Amino acid sequence: MKTVTLGLNHKSAPIEVRERLVFDAPETIGALRRLKDRFREAEFVLLSTCNRVELYCASKREGGVTAEDLANFMSEFHNVPLETFKEFLYSYDNEDSVRHLLTVASSLDSMVVGEGQIIGQVKKSYRLACTAQSTGKILNHLFHCAFATAKKVYTTTSISSGRVSVAGVAVELAMQLFADISSAKVVVIGAGEMGELLVRHLLQVGCKDITIVNRSYERGQNMAKRHGVVARKWEELAEQLIQADIAIASAAVQDYLFKKESFKKIMDSRRKGTLLIVDIAVPRNFEPSVNEIEDVYFYSIDNLSEVVEQNRKAREQDIANGMQIVSENVADFMDWFGARDIGPLIGQMKEEFAQISQNELERFFVGARQEASCKEVMQAMVNRIVNKLLHCVIKNVNTVAKENGEAEAARLAGNIVRQAKEISLEANSKEDAKQGRINSDKH
């Protein structure tokens, strides 16, 4: 078996590409079911967040699912030409694939290192895969290994201390760009998990005038009550923006809430000056060209890089410690993963060696020798020799497993099985050719 990961993230692809390939929960289940129908023997998990879209796959080593298969599927599902995002894709196989998932789950590959949302997103993705019945023994074991790794990284390092979320970074940016954030009127668009984080961070930095606007007014109200802020109906969003100093958007929508022309009307109605918009939604809530309107300062999730870099530098030692934990757990998983392959391969090796010895005995005991009295003794002797040679081979495979890992040992055992099959088939073909010549001579 092998594992393959294909994806793109905030480091490899701009937001205008990522937002075209995002999967919501129903789409994720639908996509996984289609993949499972197409590749019945393979396993799949799909991780889709505001910063990454990644497909994880386990399939047979020879003739299994390839990164190209996954890329073509992603293109087909979203009806987006592969040429428009192919250059932004990355892919990993086997050990590199395992290391990538463990690094992602531990937030060491996040835009904001140490953020706690990613592990919840990875767990949700795994649950969706279980619902779609697209997982199996390998990915089940791999994702539980990722959960355990993340827990150890979070509990044994201080990587999650401080404001470590995209929401926190958005508020940090607002503080840098707005002189007195405590006196600013802030409109939070969206009452999901990210919206709740935004409200918490805003309250922590002293914001006193916070309004939540959500498509579901009831949900917005419930969140507002929890935090002692105000909620307004979705229909009042434009009015709230007219009065706002800062708008931070995280609503889950498939198209822009505001395009340049419609938003210009809102700005024309304002009596206030500058409006700061921080759009951390993917897909985005505001058309980027709103930044061209006078007195609008627009920042998308990809514009948070300076604050993100400050966060990364402050956690360099934690990152190193976290990566050490990841490496240890990758080695443990690969030992388990390789052992799954070695057992059956050793069995196949024994069968192929036995077949070769049987072929040679049959070639020897033909004609007058067919009824030889020593036939049974010869068979026992040949079997003993083959078993001793097989024991040496298995011993060497075990040595490779100890010194270079189970995956390398599985590759060695697989090569031996393939070569033994070739020897067996070659001997049979030569014998068939010889028998054909004998029959021809008789006629």
Instruction: Give the C-alpha separation, 405 to 117, whole Å.
Output: 33
Residue of 9, 24, 23, 5 whose CA lies nearest to 85? 9
Q: Which of 50, 57, 145, 207 is catalytic?
A: 50
* Active-site annotation holds for 392: no
Instruction: Give the C-alpha separation, 358 to 352, whole Å.
Output: 10
Q: How far is CA 361 from CA 354, 368, 386, in A?
A: 11, 14, 12
Residue of 347, 330, 334, 359 whose CA lies nearest to 414? 347
Amino acid type, 171: V
Summarised one tens digit per residue, pLDDT across range 385-404 is: 888 888 888 888 878 877 88
Q: What is the pTM of this model?
A: 0.73
pLDDT at 437 over 60: no
**Signed CA dihedral, 239, 245, 247, 248: sign only:** negative
List the strands of the sheet with 90-93, edge to edge: 43-48, 52-59, 2-9, 90-93
**Comparing 94-98, 285-289, 408-412, which segment has the lowest mean pLDDT?**
408-412
Instruction: Give the C-alpha separation, 150 to 103, whole Å.
Output: 8
Contact assessment for residue 282 and residue 51, using Cβ atoms and an 8 Å cutoff: yes
pLDDT average, residue stretch 357-379 = 83
**Signed CA dihedral, 18, 24, 25, 31: sign only:** negative
Higher pLDDT, residue 367 or 279? 279
Contact assessment for residue 246 and residue 276, using Cβ atoms and an 8 Å cutoff: yes
Query: Which of 122-136, 353-367, 371-385 ranks highest by mean pLDDT?
Result: 122-136
pLDDT average, residue stretch 140-156 = 96
Mean pLDDT of all residues in the chain? 89
Q: Hey, which residues does 298 pair with through a beta bridge?
A: 277
* Domains (range + CATH), the chain: 2-159 (3.30.460.30), 166-313 (3.40.50.720), 337-432 (no CATH)
